[in-house]
Chain A
Amino acid sequence: MSTNVNHAPLEYQTEHNQMSILGFWIFLAAEVVLFSTLFATYAVLFGRTADAPTPSELFELDIVLVMTFLLLTSSFTCGIAIHQMRHGSNKGLITWMIITLALGLGFLGFEVYEFIHYSHEGATLPSSAYWSSFYVLAGTHGLHVTLGIGWAILLLIQLFKKGITKVTSRKVFIISLYWHFLDVIWIFIFTSVYLIGMVV
Chain B
Amino acid sequence: MNLDEFFVTGEPLIYAGMVSIVLVTSAMIFLLTYFKKWGWLWREWLTTVDHKKIGVMYILSALAMLFRGGVDALMMRVQLAFPDLNFLNAQHYNEIFTTHGTIMIIFMAMPFLIGLMNIIVPLQIGARDFAFPFVNALSFWSFFFGALLFNISFVIGGSPDAGWTSYTPLAGAAMNPGPGQNFYLLGLQLSGIGTLATGINLMVTILKMRAPGMKLFKMPIFSWSTLVTSFIIIFAFPILTVALALMTIDRIFGSQFFTLTGEGLPMMWANLFWMWGHPEVYIVILPAFGIFSEVIATFAKKRIFGYHAMVWSMILIAGLSFLVWVHHFFTMGAGAFVNSVFSVSTMLIAVPTGVKIFNWLGTLYKSKIQFTTPMMWALAFIPSFVIGGVTGVMLGMAAADYQFHNSYFLIAHFHYVLIAGTVFACFAGLEYWYPKMFGHKLNEKLGKLSFWLFVIGFHVTFLPQYFLGLDGMPRRLFDTAPEWFTLNFISTVGAFGMGAGFALFVFNIYYSYRTSQRETTGDSWDGRTLEWATPTPIPHYNFATLPTIRDIDAFVEMKKRNETTYDESKLKPIHMPNNSGQPFIMMALLFMASFALVFEWITLSVIFLVGVLIMMVIRSFDEDDGHHVEVEEIKETERSLRGL
**Chain B 231-254: CB-based contact to A (< 8 A → 1; otherwise 0):** 000111111011101100110011
- Residues of B contacting A49 with CB < 8 Å? 263
- Whether B562 sits at the interface, judged by CB under 8 Å, is no
Report the stretch among A37-45, A73-81, A113-121 that lies at the interface.
Answer: A37-45
Chain B contact residues, CB within 8 Å of chain A? 131-132, 196, 199-201, 203-204, 207-209, 234-239, 241-243, 245-246, 249-250, 253-257, 259, 261-265, 268, 272, 275, 613, 617, 620-621, 623
A105 vs chain B, min Cβ distance (A): 18
- Least distance between A46 CB and chain B CB atoms (Å): 11
With A and B bound together, what is the CA distance between A34 and B272 in angstroms?
11
- Could you tell me if B246 and A48 are in contact, using CB atoms closer than 8 angstroms? no
Residues of A within 8 A of B243 (CB): 37
> Known: A23-B204, A30-B235. Is A37-B255 also a contact (CB below 8 A)?
no
Inter-chain contacts of A38 with B (CB < 8 A): 242
- Asked whether A132 and B256 contact (CB < 8 A) given A26-B234, A31-B238, A41-B268, the answer is yes
Contact B242 A41 (CB under 8 A): yes
Do B203 and A26 touch across chains, with their CB atoms under 8 A apart?
A: yes
A33 touches B235 (CB 8 A): yes
Give Cα distance in the complex from A38 to B255, angstroms.
14
A32's nearest neighbour on chain B, judged by CB, is: B238
CA–CA, A22 to B205, complex, Å?
A: 10
Q: Is the CB–CB distance between A126 and B203 below 8 Å?
A: no
Minimal beta-carbon separation of A1 from chain B (angstroms): 8
Q: Is the CB of B238 within 8 A of A132?
A: no
B429 to chain A, nearest CB (A): 26
- Closest residue of A by beta carbon distance from B201: A23
Tell me, rounded to whole Å, the shortest Cβ–Cβ distance linking B603 to chain A.
19
Q: B257–A132 contact, CB under 8 A?
A: yes
Tell which of A23, A34, A130 has the most Cβ of chain B within 10 Å. A23
Q: Are A158 and B621 in contact (CB under 8 A)?
A: yes
Contact B265 A129 (CB under 8 A): yes
Contacts A22-B204, A33-B239, A41-B242 given; indicate if A154 touches B620 (C-beta within 8 A): yes
Complex Cα distance, B246 from A37, in Å, reads 11
Cα distance A9–B207 in the bound complex, in angstroms: 21
User: Quick check: B621 and A132 within 8 Å, CB to CB?
Assistant: no
6 A-B residue contacts at CB 8 Å? A22-B208, A26-B203, A126-B256, A132-B249, A132-B264, A158-B621
Give complex CA distance A127, B246 in Å. Answer: 15
Residue A50, interface by CB 8 Å = yes
Q: Which residues of B contact A154 (CB under 8 A)?
A: 617, 620-621
Is A15 close to B, CB under 8 A? yes
By a CB distance below 8 angstroms, the chain A residues around B203 are 26
Question: Are B263 and A130 closer than 8 Å at their CB atoms?
Answer: yes
Q: How far is the CB of A144 from chain B (nearest CB, A)?
A: 13
* Contact of A125 with B253 at beta-carbon distance under 8 Å, contacts A30-B196, A50-B263 already known: yes
CA–CA, A19 and B200, complex, Å: 11
Answer whether residue A18 sits at the interface, using C-beta atoms and an 8 A cutoff: yes
Cα(A50)–Cα(B623), bound, Å: 53
A133 at the interface (CB under 8 A from B): yes
- Contact check: which of B207, B268, B621 meets A45 at CB < 8 Å? B268
Partner of B272, one of A1, A37, A136: A37
Interface centre among B199, B245, B255, B265 (most CB of A within 10 A): B255
Across the interface, which residues of A come within 8 angstroms of B617, CB to CB?
Answer: 154
Which secondary structure dominates where chain B touches chain A? helix
Tell me whether A26 and B268 are in contact (CB under 8 A): no
B208 touches A27 (CB 8 A): no
Point out the residues of chain A lying under 8 angstroms from B253, CB to CB.
Answer: 125-126
CA distance A135 to B242 in the complex (A): 14
Q: Report whether A126 and B255 are in contact in the complex, using a CB–CB cutoff of 8 Å.
A: yes
Residues of B within 8 A of A136 (CB): 245-246, 249, 255, 257
* A residues less than 8 Å from B209 (CB atoms): 19
CB of A89 within 8 Å of the partner chain = no
Chain A residues with Cβ below 8 Å from B249 are 125, 132, 136
- In the complex, which residues of chain B have a beta carbon less than 8 angstroms from the beta carbon of A68? none
Within 8 A of B (CB), among A137-180: 150-151, 154-155, 158, 167
Q: How far is the CB of A122 from chain B (nearest CB, A)?
A: 13
| A15-B208, A19-B204 known; A133-B257 Cβ under 8 A | yes
- A residues within 8 A CB of B238? 30-31, 33-34, 37
Distance of B248 from chain A, by nearest CB (Å):
11
Are the CB atoms of A127 and B242 closer together than 8 Å?
Answer: no
Tell whether A84 is near chain B: CB-to-CB under 8 Å: no
Given that A34-B242, A154-B617 are known contacts, is A23 also in contact with B132, CB under 8 Å in the complex?
yes
Q: Which residues of A contact B132 (CB under 8 A)?
A: 19-20, 23
Chain B residues with CB under 8 Å of A90's CB are: none
For residue A200, CB closer than 8 A to chain B, the reply is no
CA distance A26 to B239 in the complex (A): 15
Q: How far is the CA of A44 from the CA of B199 in the complex (A)?
A: 29
Pick from A22, A27, A31, A128: contact of B262, CB below 8 A: A128
Cβ–Cβ contact A48 & B272, under 8 A: no
Contact of A125 among B199, B254, B264 (CB under 8 A): B254
A29 part of interface (Cβ distance < 8 Å): yes
- Shortest distance from the beta carbon of B507 to any chain A beta carbon, whole Å: 41
Provide the bound-state CA to CA distance between A129 and B263, in Å: 6
Instruction: Please indicate the chain B residues that have their CB under 8 angstroms from the CB of A127 in the complex.
Output: 256, 262
Chain A, residue nearest B210 (CB): A1
Alpha-carbon distance A50/B243, docked complex (angstroms): 22
Residue among B241, B256, B261 having the largest count of chain A Cβ atoms under 10 Å: B256
Task: Specify the chain B residue showing the minimal Cβ separation from A34.
Answer: B238
CB-defined contacts of A20 to chain B, threshold 8 Å: 132
> B252 → chain A, closest Cβ, in Å?
11
Partner of B242, one of A29, A37, A125: A37
Contact B255–A29 (Cβ < 8 Å): no
Q: Are the C-beta atoms of A37 and B239 separated by less than 8 Å?
A: yes
B185 to chain A, nearest CB (A): 15
Given contacts A23-B204, A129-B264, contact A30 B256 (CB under 8 A): no
Add 10 more A-B contacts to A19-B132, A34-B238 (CB < 8 A).
Answer: A31-B238, A34-B241, A34-B242, A45-B257, A48-B263, A48-B264, A48-B265, A128-B263, A129-B264, A132-B257
CB-CB < 8 A to B235: which residues of A?
Answer: 29-30, 33
Nearest-Cβ distance from residue A39 to partner chain B, whole angstroms: 10
